[in-house]
Amino acid sequence: MTEYAIGIDLGGTAIKYAVVNRSGAIPFEGTMPTPATEGADAVIAALAKAINICKDWAADNGLHIPGAGIGTPGIVTPDGRRVIGAAENIAGWENVALADRLEQLCGIKVVASNDANAMGVGEWTFGAARGVRDAIFITVGTGIGSAALIDGHIWRGHYGRGMEVGHITVKCDGEGCACGGRGCLEHYASTAALVRRFAALTGKEADGREIVRLYHSGDPVAAKAMSEHWMYLGHGIASVINIFAPELVVVGGGISEAGPFYFERLRRVVGAQAMAECAANTRIVPAELGNSAGCLGAAALILHAAI
Ligand code: BGC
């Protein structure tokens, strides 16, 4: 029986990698920057490097690793082998034979899935959604991704092409999104959007962590940028609740680790906007596995043959 696998979470900013065991423990993990503007070959080389770092660690520790699961932005073919597209935050990440190329480079089995689906599987298998049958998972990072657990099954739409909640419209006359649409949730509520908004208001660069720190110190501009972030994200989540009436909405990604205040503000916006009847039994909770959910879910593709 497989005991350990590699889980990789490919983000628009960072590649997180981990060695994971069947019960969700992570004996080894690390992170490296994503060469997101350098094209698909550079990203594949970085992913291969991440897999090989994990393989080397496993070999040094006498562990057999049968495969690597990869959570990637974009739509992945249902067989888990190819990224079709819809991953605008990574240049050239379209029609990429991801599993084949990594198998050739690393010599182990590779299975890919959309990153938010991987996060959802991680939280369902090991985290906040254990034992739940209806949940929506939302990752907030460079992009916004989502997954749906419906009646105990991960639902991905016809040919796996659905659940792109980051690209639902929250502003009809809004700015153009990288996807080609206009006014998308991701364009207004991702961490990248928060960073962009703060820079536009101040002329200064700050990352999400710094903006949260400034918010706590009473900085009025950080407060404005955060309020807008909650407003857009909360409206997006309210729309999703009105459609799915899930038992849980699990929100992950780095910013979801900001603390309870983050969820209090988010719940306030959702509470004011969602239909009370649809939201009556819905709880909005942070990803229990924090930023590791993506790696854990990706490893579950191998360990539990999930999805
Ligand atoms: C992509 C999704 C992805 C999300 C998070 C979005 O821009 O369209 O497929 O899940 O970013 O990475």
pLDDT in tens, 112-157: 999 999 999 999 999 999 999 999 999 999 999 999 999 999 999 9
Identify whether the C-beta of residue 187 lies closer than 8 Å to the C-beta of residue 177.
yes
Task: Say how many Å lie between the CA of residue 219 and the centre of ligand 1.
Answer: 30
Task: Quote the percentage of the chain above a pLDDT of 90.
Answer: 93
Identify whether the C-beta of residue 113 lies closer than 8 Å to the C-beta of residue 121.
yes
Task: Say how many Å lie between the CA of residue 263 and the centre of ligand 1.
Answer: 22
> Going by CA atoms, what residue is nearest to atom 11 of ligand 1?
143
Q: Indicate which atom in ligand 1 lies nearest the CA of residue 74.
A: 9
Task: Say how many Å lie between the CA of residue 245 and the centre of ligand 1.
Answer: 22
Task: Say how many Å lie between the CA of residue 178 and the centre of ligand 1.
Answer: 11
Pairing assessment for the beta strands 28-33 and 14-21 based on DSSP bridges: antiparallel
> Going by CA atoms, what residue is nearest to atom 9 of ligand 1?
74
**Sorting pLDDT into bands at 50, 70 and 90, what band is 307?**
low
pLDDT at residue 290 in the model: 85
Task: Say how many Å lie between the CA of residue 35 and the centre of ligand 1.
Answer: 16
Identify whether the C-beta of residue 183 lies closer than 8 Å to the C-beta of residue 174.
yes
Nearest Cα neighbor of 185 from 167, 172, 199, 200 is 167
Could you tell me what percentage of the chain is helix, strand and coil, using 3-state DSSP and rounding each to the nearest 5?
45, 20, 35
Gyration radius of the chain over CA positions: 19
pLDDT at residue 277 in the model: 98
Task: Say how many Å lie between the CA of residue 41 and the centre of ligand 1.
Answer: 19
Query: Which residue of 89, 154, 256 sits with most ligand 1 atoms within 8 Å of its CB, as the best mutation to test the pocket?
Result: 89
Those residues whose C-beta lies under 8 Å from the C-beta of residue 267, and which sit 6 or more positions away, are: 284
Q: Is 264 exposed, middle or buried (0-12, 13-18, 19+ CB in 10 A)?
A: exposed
Q: Indicate which atom in ligand 1 lies nearest the CA of residue 86.
A: 8
> Going by CA atoms, what residue is nearest to atom 4 of ligand 1?
145
Q: Is 60 exposed, middle or buried (0-12, 13-18, 19+ CB in 10 A)?
A: exposed
> Going by CA atoms, what residue is nearest to atom 7 of ligand 1?
143
| Cα of 97 vs its chain's centroid, Å | 21
Mean pLDDT computed over every residue of the chain: 95
Residue 302 to residue 87: CA distance in whole angstroms? 23
Residue 77 to residue 79: CA distance in whole angstroms? 5
pLDDT exceeds 80 at position 221 = yes
Backbone dihedral angles phi then psi of residue 285, each to the nearest 5 degrees: -130, 155
Q: Is 84 exposed, middle or buried (0-12, 13-18, 19+ CB in 10 A)?
A: middle
Query: Which residue of 16, 75, 115 sits with most ligand 1 atoms within 8 Å of its CB, as the best mutation to test the pocket?
Result: 115
pLDDT at residue 2 in the model: 58
The upper half-sphere exposure of residue 236, i.e. CA atoms within 13 Å in the direction of its Cβ, equals 33
Task: Say how many Å lie between the CA of residue 115 and the centre of ligand 1.
Answer: 7
CB within 6 Å of ligand 1 — which residues?
73-74, 86-89, 114-116, 139, 143-145, 164, 166, 186
For residue range 41-96, list pLDDT tens digits in order.
999 999 999 999 999 999 999 999 999 999 999 999 999 999 999 998 899 999 99
Q: Indicate which atom in ligand 1 lies nearest the CA of residue 12.
A: 12
Task: Say how many Å lie between the CA of residue 3 and the centre of ligand 1.
Answer: 30
Nearest Cα neighbor of 2 from 130, 138, 107, 109 is 109
Residue 307 to residue 296: CA distance in whole angstroms? 13
pLDDT exceeds 80 at position 258 = yes
The 10 Å CB-count burial string (b at 16+, else e) for 216-255 is: eeebebbeebbebbbbbbbbbbbbbbeebbbebbbbbbbb
Q: Indicate which atom in ligand 1 lies nearest the CA of residue 166.
A: 6
Read off the pTM.
Answer: 0.92
Q: Indicate which atom in ligand 1 lies nearest the CA of residue 146.
A: 10
Q: Indicate which atom in ligand 1 lies nearest the CA of residue 88.
A: 7
**Region 29-42 average pLDDT:** 97
pLDDT at residue 306 in the model: 59
**Which H or E element spans position 112?**
strand 109-114
Residue 165 to residue 149: CA distance in whole angstroms? 14
pLDDT exceeds 60 at position 291 = yes
**Region 10-39 average pLDDT:** 96
For residue range 184-218, list pLDDT tens digits in order.
999 999 999 999 999 999 999 999 999 999 999 99
